[in-house]
Amino acid sequence: MAGCTTTTNLLQSKKVDYKAQAEASPPLDVPPDLTPVQTDERFAIPERDKNKGTTYSQYSKDQGTTTTTVVAGTGGVLPKLGNGVSIERDGAQRWLVVKATPEQVWPVLKEFWTSNGFELKVDNPQLGLMETDWTENRATIPQDFLKRVLSTVVNNLFSSPLRDKYRTRVERGTVSGTTEIFITHRGMEEVVSKDYTGTSWQMRPEDPEMENEYLKKLAVRFGTTPEQATTLVASTTPAAGAQPAAPAVQSNALATLVKQPDGDTVLSLNEPFDRAWRRVGLALDRSGFTVEDRDRAAGVYFVRYTDSDAPLKSKKKESFLSSLQFWKSEDKSKDTQTYRITITTISGKGSKVDVRDKAENQINPDTANKMLSLIYEQLH
């Protein structure tokens, strides 16, 4: 039996464990003079064994649901996907493609993240953005005998020095009736000051392995088996030493920062518009920009540029409860503005990216250069 592997274990990676923080909230009490609202079973979260995952296809089978018809005006029911799930790759970037509309996918994504132990900080279906709050990764806590015993009594007695958050971006697929789902990771770690008088939270590099882990989990949630999900990710992993796919226009670099004669800075990409749009969108997610709106037809992302996600300032020794508030920054003076990041096609099938203010006026060259540099760093 030691050599056997169940399908449940295939995706139970020791790299991530956020569920310990997720606690079920008690139902709201209804006043005696009111009647509880009757819920629509179409939107009910599937009941499941706490030790097993539940795919929508399995849920439909258990419920005897075979239809995939969506009735206009009554909301969407996620179709039975079967083989309608794939993982696409462009260079180092991967994303999930499912045979369903964004409207059908959205409620499943919400249930997916909350069931994995996360609270949602951003839930914007109109913009197609969903983002979790910073969450402790308890898989990084060393599990010696004493800690295992104590954790059975008080689960949160020990804390992890790592925090993670995930941003999910949803776009309509290039094929009608499909949806593209992008997952990006950001991480923080708690470090001790040089004089050992306190600690501070600092950003750490994104982890593609954790992104792939959740792409696999999400593929399972949309109807594949764990084995199929693992195969999907493995099939999009470049072989060791393999070179990335050649860009649409041959060049020595994927992107170049170009200083214009007027002092303005633009980012030049050796990619056609479709690929440039996707790459810049992922770069914005990885860089921590807050995307307020987007207009793909015009090639514009409206972003809020702020240092709110910068490393938190060092703090002195403080109470245990105060130390839990790691997300609060003491600096409230940072100015936040909205900018237009525009992608346009240039000759030779390439694209360029520039930054303007909301009224399309030229901004401070240093600010433009800093913003484009942040994007540029995520394109390599």
Question: Within this chain, do residues 116 and 228 fall inside the same structural domain, yes or no?
Answer: yes
Last residue of a domain, one of 215, 237, 259: 237
Question: Could you tell me the residue range of the domain that residue 136 belongs to?
Answer: 42-68+76-237
User: Looking at residue 260, what is its pLDDT?
Assistant: 78
Residue 61 lies in a domain: yes
304 lies in some domain: yes
In contact, 193 and 314? CB cutoff 8 Å: yes
Residues 59 and 189 in one domain: yes
Residue 56 and residue 187 in one domain: yes
CATH at 282: 3.30.310.170
User: Does one domain contain both 137 and 199?
Assistant: yes
Same domain, 258 and 230: no
Distance CA 115, CA 41 (A): 18
Where is the domain boundary, 237, 261, 289?
A: 237
Q: Kindly report the pTM of this predicted structure.
A: 0.63
Specify the pLDDT at position 262.
Answer: 76
Q: Is residue 317 part of a domain?
A: no
**Residue 210 domain flag:** yes
Kindly give the residue spans of alpha helices, DSSP state H, lying in the chain.
7-10, 56-63, 102-115, 145-153, 208-221, 226-235, 273-287, 320-323, 365-377
Q: What distance in Å separates the CA atoms of residue 126 and residue 334, rounded to the nearest whole number? A: 28
Both 48 and 142 in a single domain?
A: yes
- Domain assignment present for residue 211? The answer is yes
Query: Contact, 372 vs 289, CB < 8 A?
Result: no
The residue ranges of the chain whose pLDDT is under 70 are 1-83, 138-159, 236-253, 306-335, 380
- Is the same domain home to 121 and 260? no
The two three-digit tokens of residue 213, written as one number: 């882990």
In a domain, 19, yes or no: no
Does residue 314 lie in a domain region?
Answer: no
Tokens of 69: 């018809």
pLDDT at 116: 93
Contact assessment for residue 373 and residue 365, using Cβ atoms and an 8 Å cutoff: no
Which of 273, 256, 263, 208 lies closest to 373 in space, CA to CA? 256
Structural domain count of the chain: 2
Rounded CA-CA distance 32/44 in Å is 25
Calculate helix-pair angle for 273-287, 365-377, nearest 10 degrees: 100
CA distance 371 to 375: 7
pLDDT of residue 142: 53
pLDDT for 199: 85
> Residue 15: what pLDDT?
60
Q: Answer yes or no: do 207 and 288 share one domain.
A: no
Pair (224, 257) in one structural domain: no
Kindly state whether residues 282 and 191 are assigned to the same domain. Answer: no
Residue 168 lies in a domain: yes
Last residue of a domain, one of 217, 237, 257: 237
- Together in a domain, 251 and 179: no
189 and 214 belong to one structural domain: yes
